[in-house]
Amino acid sequence: MKLRTLVLLFVLVLVMAAPATAAGRETVGDKISIFFSQPDRIEFPAEEPFHISHGHGLEPGDASSIGVFDFALLVDDVVVDEDYVQQVVDRSQDIWFKRLWVYNFAEGMTGTHTFTAIWYAPCEWAVENGYSSGPCTKPNAKVVMSSNSVIIDFE
């Protein structure tokens, strides 16, 4: 049963990834990272294209709840819709499935804005990996795994 589920998941991933590849989706401009290694405030040229892409890298054991892993981007506390979700399967490494939410800002921005990234994961996984203290009333309930904010001055 478990093998059948993994095979079905793999086929689903290939089907979902195929349209993204066929559409030739690409990022625009430089990448702005909102990950924890960034300072709390950065500068970026005004009206210059840029993109943000963050997500999850999953191991084979995480496949049972893969659909619960999620990501959200907020700009000035308003949720932004992603342009596309990039999915990559690479079984040559420990992290073999990557799902990245991509946000293109082709026109750039002006002024000062707060960008907030929120990573979600299944509750049980988040507790087991030290991202949440629990308890989990439902193991696959979507919980906030982590979040980070960066203020960007577009000058």
Range of the domain at 52: 2-154
Radius of gyration of the chain (CA): 17
Lowest mean pLDDT among 18-22, 69-73, 80-84: 18-22
Cβ proximity of 114 and 151 under 8 Å: yes
Share of the chain above pLDDT 90, in %: 59
Task: Provide the number of structural domains found in the chain.
Answer: 1
Q: What is the pLDDT of residue 11?
A: 30
Alpha-carbon span 96 to 6, nearest angstrom: 13
- CATH code where residue 65 lies: 2.60.40.2020
Average pLDDT value for residue range 98-114: 96
Cβ proximity of 95 and 58 under 8 Å: yes
For 30-81, the pLDDT digits (tens) are: 999 998 767 899 999 999 999 999 998 877 766 667 788 999 999 999 999 9
Q: Mean pLDDT, the chain, as a whole number? A: 82
pLDDT(95) > 90: no
pLDDT(10) > 70: no
* pLDDT higher at 18 or 53: 53
Cβ proximity of 71 and 52 under 8 Å: no
